[in-house]
Amino acid sequence: MSNVKRKFFVAGTDTEIGKTFISTALIRAFVANNLSTVGLKPIASGAEPVQGVLKNDDALQLQQASNMSFSYSEINPLCFEPAIAPHIAADLAGQTLNVEELANRVVMPDEADIILVEGAGGWLTPLNQKETYADWVEQEQLDVILVVGMKLGCLNHAMLSIRDIQSRGLTVKGWVANFAQGKMNMAEDNVKWLKQNITAPCLGVVPFQDTANSKPQDADASLANTVAELLDVSALL
């Protein structure tokens, strides 16, 4: 396993569908396979100052799950306080957000077996008026893991995302069905349709995690470890 070198971009079919929750579980699944793994969150909007430094909760969860030690700024180089679209947050902060800036700020550590990069929002989240996050992924030639938020409309969202990913010459290496927002009518039928129509392997079907936390799914360590056992990462190695 020590010769495994993989870089993945975790995309979602929408926002608030559990990308961080699944990303954290994937990291823990890789770590369980004795792989040196780091999770990155290049762009994060929605942060609070911690000892004078803006920090995003999702990025902190990825940092905690990783078994490699990197500073917060290496995990999350572009962090904005308001929980709004990143390109708008960047404008308000007077910062430049584009593919070139991302390429300059994101460091992919050579010593890592697995680098897991979590996106922001959906696949085509804007960086500015002309570029999207997908443009950077295309430039970096990252393999994609798609998190499908299981809710009404997800079949369309999943297939449109995959169509654009593949049109860029990128590969969807796997996908996860995540019931982040609770039960879904005809859930099994929807998952069955996705399995029949997405050629990439399904890495797992994650049921709704009913917790006492305010968020529908909170990627705390114990819960992420439990969900990691539901995910089959062998197809990614």
Query: 69-94: per-residue pLDDT in tens?
Result: 999 999 999 999 999 999 999 999 99
Which residue ranges in the chain fall short of pLDDT 70? Answer: 1-3, 210-221
Q: How far is it between the farthest Cα atoms of the chain?
A: 49
pLDDT of residue 223: 76
41 is a catalytic site residue:
yes
Instruction: Walk me through the domains of the chain, giving residue ranges and CATH numbers.
Output: 6-236 (3.40.50.300)
Report the predicted TM-score, pTM, of the whole model to 2 decimal places.
0.94
Q: Which of 41, 55, 151, 173 is catalytic?
A: 41
pLDDT of residue 30: 97
Burial of 163 (0-12, 13-18, 19+ CB in 10 A): exposed
pLDDT of residue 219: 44
pLDDT of residue 211: 58
Query: 151-187: per-residue pLDDT in tens?
Result: 999 999 999 999 999 999 999 999 999 999 888 999 9
In one letter, which amino acid is 4?
A: V
Burial string for 71-97 (b: 16+ CB within 10 Å, else e) reads ebeebbbbbbeeeebbbebbbebeeeb
pLDDT of residue 217: 43
